[in-house]
Amino acid sequence: MAKKQKIEGQSSLSSLSWCSLDEDIIYSIMNRLHYVDQLRFRAVCKNWREANLEGVKYADKLPWMMALDPGSGSCHLYDSFYRRKHTIKTTITSKGIFIGASILASKHGWVLLGKIDQETGHSGLLFFYNPFCDKIIHLPKLHHPYYLRATFTKSPVCSDCEIFLLDVDHRKNKIQINTCRVGDPKWSGLFFDRGDFAQSFQVEYMDGILYATSSNRTSVGAFNVALQEWKTFPCPPDDENHCKITESLIKCEDGNLLLAQFGVNRLPHRDWTIFRLDRSRMKWIQVKRIDNGSLFMGYTPLFVPLEKASGLTDTIHWHECYRPGRYSTRCPKILEIYSWDLIEVNGGIREEYPKLWLLPPQP
């Protein structure tokens, strides 16, 4: 009798299929996988691919990097975990859509780009591109100066994703803000008095407010979307040891907005000064340490949350655009991870192309 029960138990176990795993088990497994491994995991069977994985995250801690060659239209991705370069060769990239394109913004695995009409000097074509799934989403055409600044609120596959474009019209002494959503037939435009706001370095959206840095480095603009109001408030003042060159806004997952100032210092080893916006008083508070993450600066600056055990907290990393293939950082781990050649031409001489930090899209 005992022998018969054992055989029946074995038969019951052998009838189970890996494809019939409970969704909570699939969810737990996916949360422990890196982005590339998640793709492989979901490709195993239909049940794993169609499981409800809302809220699942990938295990990648550091951002990927994307390089775009606006001359040939080629696109390259670098996986920071496996330290592997991927050159994207598809029907989209072969059509030359990236030739002459400029990077405007990136979030949620999507990159917003604009193309310039060489005859008019204005951008006519605006579109999103996702290098992870090789998809394009087109936006309405907008004839606009080359130096516009842009951001967007969510993944463009969301119906409520809103895109913002900001520019300064010096001839009319106006701030111009254009908005639209994916699927809209045209852009909606608003104009505001420029005041002392100069050309914008960068824009960022947070909690209903579009923030913009000014090239005069004395003020930050704030556009309240609900109230349709534009106001400015002061930047942190210069100090005698720091001459500001550029500023970047970074949105953090903990709800903070950071202002990173890069400049020439008289004190050694202090290239960046970081501030946090106290939104209750609209004042900047200097941040001495970034204990919960790291900053990756460039075309599209990122705050990456990290644990102290990673050894990468309180670090800042950025591209040296004038030295191809090099990154300015004092962190040996980052130098080792991102030491890779984007493209080699003419006897191994490296050619520099626009690069940006990029986080993969969530499943």
220 strand-pairing partners? 213, 233
Confidence (pLDDT) at 325: 39
Cα 346 to Cα 146: distance, rounded to the nearest angstrom: 31
Structure tokens at 164: 């913002």
Q: What is the dihedral of CA 269, 270, 271, 277, to 10 degrees?
A: 150
Q: What is the pLDDT of residue 127?
A: 92
Task: Decide if pLDDT at 356 tops 70.
Answer: yes
Name the DSSP class of 170: T
* Opening angle at CA 302, ends 28 and 180, nearest 5: 95
Q: Tell me the average pLDDT across 44-53.
A: 82
- pLDDT in the model for residue 70: 65
End-to-end C-alpha distance for the chain, whole angstroms: 49
Predicted confidence at residue 322, as pLDDT, reads 36
Whether 354 has a pLDDT exceeding 80, the answer reads no
pLDDT tens digit string along 166-192? 988 878 889 999 999 999 999 999 999
What is the structure's pLDDT at 320?
52
pLDDT at res. 86: 82
Q: How does pLDDT run across 114-159, given as a tens digit for each residue?
A: 887 666 555 578 899 998 888 899 998 887 655 678 999 999 999 8
The Cα–Cα gap between 222 and 327 comes to 32
Backbone angles phi and psi of 20, in degrees to 5 = -100, 20
CA distance 61 to 336: 15
Could you give the CA distance from residue 321 to residue 238 in angstroms, rounded to a whole number?
25
pLDDT digits (tens, 9 = 90+) for 315-326: 888 765 434 334
Q: What is the pLDDT of residue 106?
A: 92
pLDDT at 82: 83
Q: What gap in Å lies between CA 141 and CA 186, rounded to an integer?
A: 7
What is the tens place of the pLDDT at every residue in 66-109? Answer: 887 766 667 888 888 888 888 887 777 666 778 778 888 999 99
Q: What is the pLDDT of residues 261-316, one digit of tens each?
A: 876 554 444 577 889 999 999 999 999 888 888 888 877 889 998 888 778 888 88
Query: Would strands 149-152 and 229-234 be described as parallel, antiparallel, or unpaired?
Result: unpaired
Average pLDDT over residues 252-261: 88
Dist. CA 131–CA 215, nearest whole Å: 31
pLDDT value for 43: 84
Amino acid of residue 120: T
User: What percent of the chain shows pLDDT beyond 70?
Assistant: 76
- DSSP secondary structure code for residue 93 in this structure: H
Residue of 88, 85, 87, 82 whose CA lies nearest to 59? 82
Q: Greater confidence, 224 or 22? A: 224
Residue with tokens 């890996």: 18
70 in Cβ contact with 76 (< 8 Å): no
pLDDT at res. 347: 42
What band does 34 get if pLDDT is binned at 50, 70 and 90? confident
Please give the pLDDT value at position 311: 80
Q: Would you state the structure tokens that stand for residue 286, as one six-digit string? A: 């200097």
Is the per-residue pLDDT at 12 higher than 90?
no
Q: What helix, strand, coil percent values describe the chain, rounded to 5? A: 15, 40, 45
Q: Which helix (H) or strand (E) holds 337?
A: helix 332-337
pLDDT of residue 284: 93
